[in-house]
Amino acid sequence: AAATLPARPQALREQYSPSCWSPRMDSDAVIRAHLEATAAGTQRARAGTQTSLHIPYGDGEGEKLDIYFPRDTSGTFPLLVYIHGGYWQCLSKEESGFAAPPLVSRGVAVVAVGYDVAPKGHMDAMVLQVRRSLAFLVERYSGISGVYLCGHSAGAHLAAMVLSTDWTEYGVAMDIKGAVLVSGVYDLEPILHTYVNDALKMSREVAQRNSPMLCVAPAVPAAAACQVLVAVAQHDSPEFRRQSQEYGQALRAAGWSVSLLDLAGVDHFDIIEKLSEESYVLTQVRDKLLSPL
């Protein structure tokens, strides 16, 4: 067994390098394509919908929101909060509005959350920022009929941490009706042994207290009514697929309402890019989640 240990860091590096697993193009190209697709989609969304951009939810430089409003906000409306990925160290809300148009056209407000990525931001702060952004939204907009979360990759991790929040600490009544967690990381311990932690500089203690797998609480009645969708791509790595499966099972065992969706023919990147397409299966499942409203 000792002879196999030196290979472990390299094996983990590959498992936690999502771009290595795409059959569409090489690692650098798939990342460039993802940036281009999401940025272009966000520009189209900003041009075609009513927006309020760069709204501060705190004093920090990265603590800003972009909101894409439906045409009629005179009554109540559901709110979908999108939390971007980028391994907690890149991307921003500037590439996070691409999935807004299909939802806005159906009367849903969409929020893209900004947070301070590493090395400026650290894990405890990022989790706190995303939680505070939710508290800010429900305090500011009285017309919200229900909150839905959607996060991709590192954003799915942050959305999962939102599910474990004690909202009494924030002085708000939070009604999270659904969460769509896409190709996420739910146990941060393996990340400690990869290049990803070079920028994050997490200790084991930080990783443990910010691992959704270790924060699953028994579902109170309000949480039991929250529909959680854990989605993973066919061409995600075995580790990403394992993490999604085990986190979904842990939530279900604690009484949460969970669906696991294994999407064929997509990788870690186009699994989320295609949310701008009405015909995409994940778009349809997400819309079904919102359909009670």
Which three-class secondary structure string do you get for 212-255? HHHCCCCCCHHHHCCEEEEEEECCCCHHHHHHHHHHHHHHHHCC
Q: In the chain, what is the greatest distance between 2 CA atoms, to the nearest angstrom?
A: 66
Burial code of 229-246, b = ≥16 C-beta within 10 A, e = fewer?
bbbbbebbbebbbbbbee
**For residue 3, what pLDDT is reported?**
38
φ/ψ of 12, rounded to 5, equals -65, -40
Active site residue ranges: 153, 236, 268
Distance in Å from the first CA to the final CA of the chain: 55
Question: Taking the alpha carbons of 43, 234, 247, 289 in that order, is the dihedral positive or negative?
Answer: positive
185-206: per-residue pLDDT in tens? 999 999 999 999 999 999 999 9
Q: Cα–Cα distances in Å, from 25 out to 21, 22, 99, 106, 237?
A: 9, 6, 23, 34, 15
Residue 122's CB is within 10 A of a number of other CB atoms, namely 18
**54: helix, strand or coil:** strand
Token pair for 161: 């941490």
Q: What angle do CA 195, 200, 203 make, to 5 degrees?
A: 95
C-alpha–C-alpha distance, residues 105 and 196, integer Å: 38
- Domain annotation for the chain: domains and CATH numbers: 10-290 (3.40.50.1820)
Block mean pLDDT (10 aa), the chain, length 293: 47 94 96 97 96 96 96 88 97 96 93 97 98 97 93 98 95 93 97 96 98 89 82 97 98 94 96 90 85 59
Beta bridge partners of 208: none
Answer for the pair 117, 90: CB distance below 8 angstroms, yes or no.
yes
C-alpha–C-alpha distance, residues 189 and 97, integer Å: 30
Angle of helix 154-163 versus helix 123-140 axis, rounded to 10: 60
E-strand spans in 191-286?
227-233, 257-263
130-167: per-residue pLDDT in tens? 999 999 999 999 899 999 999 999 999 999 999 999 99
**For residue 73, what pLDDT is reported?**
79
